[in-house]
Amino acid sequence: MRKRISLLAASGLVALGLATTPAHAADPVFTLSGPAEVGLRPHPGPSGDAHKTTVEFRVDNTTGTVFDKRSTFTIDLGALKGIADVTLAKGHSQGCTQTATAVTCAAEGLYPRDSEVATLELSAAKDSKLGASADLTMTGKTEGATFKQATTRVKVGGPDLVLEEAALKAKMNPGDTQGLPIVFANAGTESVNGVALRIDTTHGMDLVEKYDNCSVDKASDWTTGTVCVLDGEFKPGAVYEVSGALTLKAAAHAFHDGIVYSVNAAGKEPAARQQLGKNTAGTGKKLAVTERTPAKAALRPGADLAPGDNRHEFDFEVKNTADLAADALSLKGKAGDTVRADLGFRNKGPAWVSYARRGSGVARTDIVIPQGAKVTKAPAGCEGVEADGTSRKQNAGAPRYFCWTDSALGEQEKVSYPFELKIEKVVADAKGSVTVDGWAPDGIQAEGFDPNKANDKAAFVINARDTGPTPGPTSSTGSPSPKPSSSTSPSPSVSVTTTAAVTGTGPKANGNLASTGSSVGPVAFGAAVLVAAGGLLFVAVRRRDTGRA
């Protein structure tokens, strides 16, 4: 009996040991990617030389950690012989070598993100035939991981949508309207079944008409995107024009605004943008398109028929003003108290303002701290300086602060910077100030859009002598203070609060046949977005990196 119990106990221990043995994690799987298909302009190109098309291959590490082992990637060129000529793109193929049959790349590690492996330039071979195609395949190899291969279909010829630049006028007044004529051609060798017309307008520019074959959505806080699907076969060599009205109207808050408009093969536009039943007007009207007669078929003189010209952008300068007004603040407290001070200004309109193109904020807030108080916590985006405005090493405890806004400022938007101050000494009627002024890349300047300078400066007082009601001190609880924020209140019933972008202390299509039929994608106006700003447009282009540890 004891022997049986011992055997059972031993078996239990073995089972327990097996149960507690840790399982080995599966090897990570990395995904290689490239375009599904690219088209090459037949040899020779319009200039007599071979036209180059860019093809980018990437690797995606979604593990969340750095993979620190050496990886090799191989792009097989053998199938392209007689169809396409291949070269490595300069500056985008680090660690890659090329032979007649393959491109080989090496990476010592992979960061946890989508990263570039190699970029190739392809052109149709001299004796290639129209319609000839082959697969371009990239594989990867490493120890302790596997790669999902990427395959790109390369074809000589294809559709090539070319959009004519509309004759628009830049100077407008609030309430003004003008038409947006849309004319495009298929300069390729194959038909396109359905075209997606995309129109992105900034905050102050509206597209008046609504059609059932057009979906409308907010591309960003400051941009509205409209996608219209135009049905039909669009043949090579033919020129088409939209026959329905497309009217642009400058809103009451318009100022430096802009538009981006493009045409792409409808099948290449993201499916989410073509769910027309969700964001359409239901008017019973459809935006139509007609083919131009042979006598009118040619585009205007000077129009560029290069494949990249399926997208254009335009800037409007609407005559308007924006009144920036500093907010006064009065606090009271005893020696040793910690008080919170929300310091800033508001845009009283009527215009919104955006400076994203030139890469700067709309305005700077200059804050002078009252005597007897010391800043213990300053919001990010505010730089502590000496009393004369010169730089200093320590951000806390500065006598003066410069705070900057984002590159866009809405009409009726309030900008606030939360400070925490300790009252070290009670000074009766201690006066500081809050001043809002313009900011440009080359230094501080007066805002050309703000005609009212009388309210640019306001008092910031601690323990004022007068007896009027004032906000009391707010004791610090030790919890993190809010980030600088701004709020927009278009109407009494609507209030939107957003965190301000702050700092510490202180496409154009690529010109190939395939890309003209590919998605331009949502264009973001604003920070990493397309914004009409300062009479210019800003295109936020994704940064490419090698992604190698």
- Does the pLDDT value for residue 533 go beyond 90? no
Mean pLDDT of 176-189: 95
Q: Of 388-397, 476-485, 487-496, where does mean pLDDT reach its minimum?
A: 487-496
Q: What does the mean pLDDT of the chain come to?
A: 80
Q: Would 19 be classed as within a structural domain? A: no
Q: Cβ atoms within 10 A of the Cβ of 154, count?
A: 24
Instruction: Give the containing element (helix H, strand E) for 313.
Output: strand 311-318
Q: Is the pTM of this model over 0.85?
A: no
Question: DSSP letters along 487-535, please?
Answer: EEEEETTEEEEEEPP---------SSHHHHTS---PPPPBTTB-EEETT
With tokens 């610090």, the residue in question is 476
Return the CATH number at 232.
2.60.40.10
Rg (CA), the chain: 31
Read off the pLDDT band of 33 (50, 70, 90).
very high
Mean pLDDT of 74-78: 97
Read off the pLDDT band of 211 (50, 70, 90).
very high
189, 278: one domain: yes
Mean pLDDT of 42-71: 89
Question: How are beta strands 373-377 and 84-88 bridged, if at all?
Answer: unpaired
393, 293: one domain: no
Given 113, 140, 156, the domain boundary residue is 156
- Distance, CA of 61 to CA of 30 (rounded, Å): 5
Given 114, 138, 156, the domain boundary residue is 156
pLDDT in tens, 224-246: 999 999 999 999 999 999 999 99
Q: Write down the H helix ranges in 128-201.
A: none
Given 126, 156, 186, the domain boundary residue is 156
Q: Cβ atoms within 10 A of the Cβ of 35, count?
A: 19
Question: How are beta strands 37-40 and 150-156 bridged, if at all?
Answer: parallel
With tokens 């209140």, the residue in question is 489
Q: Would 493 be classed as within a structural domain? A: yes
Question: How are beta strands 311-318 and 171-172 bridged, if at all?
Answer: parallel
Decide if 153 contacts 38 (C-beta within 8 A). yes
Which pLDDT score, from 0 to 100, does residue 505 have?
33
206, 332: one domain: no
- Distance, CA of 30 to CA of 32 (rounded, Å): 7
Q: Of 9-13, 203-207, 494-498, 542-546, where does mean pLDDT reach its minimum?
A: 494-498
- Does the pLDDT value for residue 484 go beyond 60? no
- Distance, CA of 237 to CA of 201 (rounded, Å): 30
Which pLDDT score, from 0 to 100, does residue 527 have?
36
Q: Which residue has the higher pLDDT, 515 or 180?
A: 180
- Does the pLDDT value for residue 29 go beyond 60? yes
Read off the pLDDT band of 284 (50, 70, 90).
confident
Question: ∠280-286-287 over CA atoms, to 5°?
Answer: 105
Read off the pLDDT band of 292 (50, 70, 90).
confident
- Bridge partners of residue 445, in order along the sequence: 438
Mean pLDDT of 29-43: 92
- Residue 93 lies in domain: 29-156
pLDDT in tens, 398-412: 999 999 999 899 999
445, 529: one domain: no
128, 171: one domain: no
Read off the pLDDT band of 137 (50, 70, 90).
very high
Which pLDDT score, from 0 to 100, does residue 464 have?
93
78, 173: one domain: no
Number of domains in the chain: 3
pLDDT in tens, 103-114: 999 999 999 999
pLDDT in tens, 405-454: 998 999 999 999 999 999 999 999 999 999 998 765 455 565 689 999 99
Read off the pLDDT band of 252 (50, 70, 90).
very high
219, 307: one domain: yes
User: Phi-psi region for residue 412, left (φ > 0), alpha (ψ -120 to 50) or beta?
Assistant: left
Q: Would 11 be classed as within a structural domain? A: no
Q: Would 12 be classed as within a structural domain? A: no
